[in-house]
A and B are shown apart, each in its own frame.
Chain A
Amino acid sequence: MRWGGLAALLVLLALPAVLSSYAVTIFILIFFYAYLGQAWNIVGGYAGQLSAGHAAFVGVGGYTAAMLSNELGLTPWVGMFAGAALAAVLGGVIGYLGFRFGLRGFYFVLLTVAFAEVGRIAASNIDALGGALGLYITFTGDPRQFQFQDNRAYYYIALALLLLATGVAWAIERRRFGAYLAAIREDEGAAEALGVDTLRYKLLAMLVSSFLTGLGGTFYAFYLFSLQPNAVFGIPMSVEIILRPIVGGAGTLLGPILGSFILTPLGELSRFYFGQSGLYGAHLIAYGLLLIGVVLFLPEGAYPRLARALARRRARP
């Protein structure tokens, strides 16, 4: 397992040397969405708190770093942490309100959606933030400003982000913290009865998750050089974030990554092919059908099934 992971990492490190620029772009998107999925996974998968408003953290993180860079000339390498911290503050507020008032399931989903929507409307109405048109970042190609001529730089940054989030999730999973989160997910009442401070651990999970997601917002801003309120704060963004861990397997370490390797190329290719013939939205239909299929036939996601199938094959002599 460990050797397999190392080999996969080496392959990924070497890949950009042989890939075309378009393929590199696809890999960047795979890593980036896997990263966001992994960040969501901490609170949505391990702790089982279905947040449908993670776009808010992407938006807050991205806008903060972009504003600091545009207005104060602060390098995004520092700004990204300011953005992530602010996203974590927002995550803390949402988490505290939601968990303190005992909102579960659907009510928590709605609360997170409502906050993300408030963020979207606020960002589209504040002129200093560029209003509905959004923020634009002038391209200078200066690495100190988180801007690169070469796509491959973004490839390695996205990969590093994904490794970071996966490392964090791994560390959580191995510690007592992870066990507490799993207990909360499986049966919150029982966990509480056994003395787990559920509020505290759910809140911690939310803080970590929103911090990481906010960090991703900076990458998004400086990879695309623009931020539109509808794109970063909107519900479709939240859906993109949720889909991958769900399809791959929520609450597993490799689920979001597997999910992203399935969904991102599928989405990009169908967007590309159907978009050419003027049929927009085909990739979202594919997403929708896949989601329905996963819920009906693979409710735990693809990774646990795959892992079991592999283990069975190994057990057979």
Chain B
Amino acid sequence: MAVGLTLIFGVMRVINFAHGDMMVWGMYIALLLSRRAGLDPYVGFVISAVALFALGLAVQRGLVQRIVDAPHEMQILLMLGVALVLENAALMAFGPEPERVRSPLAASTIWLGPVFVDVGRLVTFGVAVLLTLLLWLFLFRTDLGRAIRAAADNPYGALVIGTDVRRVYATAFGIGAACVGAAGALVSPLLPFQPATGLSLSITSFNIVIIGGMGSLLGAFIGGLLVSVAESLGAVFLAPSLKELVSFSLLILILLFRPAGLFGKRAP
């Protein structure tokens, strides 16, 4: 999910506070699909991704596009507004109780060499790696992907050589949201969720992106691993409820000493 955020931020320098809430919507879509249509979330994630792509595109076209040149503060506030609407729309639609999507895959386990693994986690991890790889291929090997990176690097230059920067922005935002939607659906069998989950997910993914470095795909991936390892270590050595404390302390330190992140190139 941090990969999606990286794409949005890296390309457009737009801070998407609605990120976690979009992810929660991805989860609820997976939930609806599995309840109503009996579709397994490991298949349904494609539909979640498509739906979130449309949502991201709409938010970008309708709202973000108008203020892309405005100061950062305005964008933060705008996305905060979007986040409030999304989270509470989910609250009104689905209620405050925590939910979990059932999948036969998530319940089974297999022996993988010497270790005992949840099939669900394994599939989630595999698909996440695959998506990151696909995204990387897309960004570095296709024309549209190159255009996205060009617009990220130098919007004016990209405009001069004939890139439709507005369209590129919209696509990048849509793809970023689609990644989040897919991620949401993929973790929905593993993680109980409720509308309020969105906010903490947003914060976690900011955490990951900042630690890994803004605008770096590899950074987002490694940042994600780092944060989850740090949180699990914190849970083991301190107390389970203190695990978030570890990642926030990490965030504060990184912000102060290496605000560009571990793999970022530019200073803010």
Contact = CB atoms under 8 A, between A and B. Distances in A.
Contacts of A281: 87-89, 91-92, 195
B92 A279 contact: yes
Interface in A53-75: none
Contact of B67 (A242, A284, A289, A295): A295
A117 B86 CA distance: 22
A235 B73 CA distance: 17
A111 interface: yes
B78 interface: yes
Contacts, number: 125
Interface string B238-268: 0101101100110110011101000000001
Interface in B73-97: 73-74, 76-78, 80-89, 91-92, 96
B133 interface: no
Q: How large is the interface on A (under 10, 10 to 19, 20 to 34, 35 or more residues)?
A: 35 or more
Contacts of A111: 252, 255-256
Contacts of A292: 63, 78, 81-82, 85
A303 to B, nearest CB: 16
A107 B259 contact: yes
Contacts of A288: 80-86, 88
Interface in B41-100: 63, 66-67, 70-74, 76-78, 80-89, 91-92, 96
B22 interface: no
A106 B255 contact: no
Interface string A238-276: 010010001000000000000000000000000000000
Contacts of A295: 67, 74, 77-78, 81
A296 B63 contact: yes
A282 B92 contact: yes
B137 interface: no
Contacts of B255: 101, 103, 107, 110-111, 114
Interface string A207-242: 000000000000000000000000000010001001
B129 interface: no
A287 interface: yes
Interface in A90-127: 97, 101, 103-107, 109-111, 113-115, 117-118, 121-122, 124-125
The 5 A-B residue pairs with the shortest CB-CB distance, nearest first, are: A288-B84, A281-B88, A291-B81, A288-B85, A281-B91
7 contacts: A107-B210, A109-B15, A114-B255, A125-B239, A235-B199, A289-B81, A295-B67
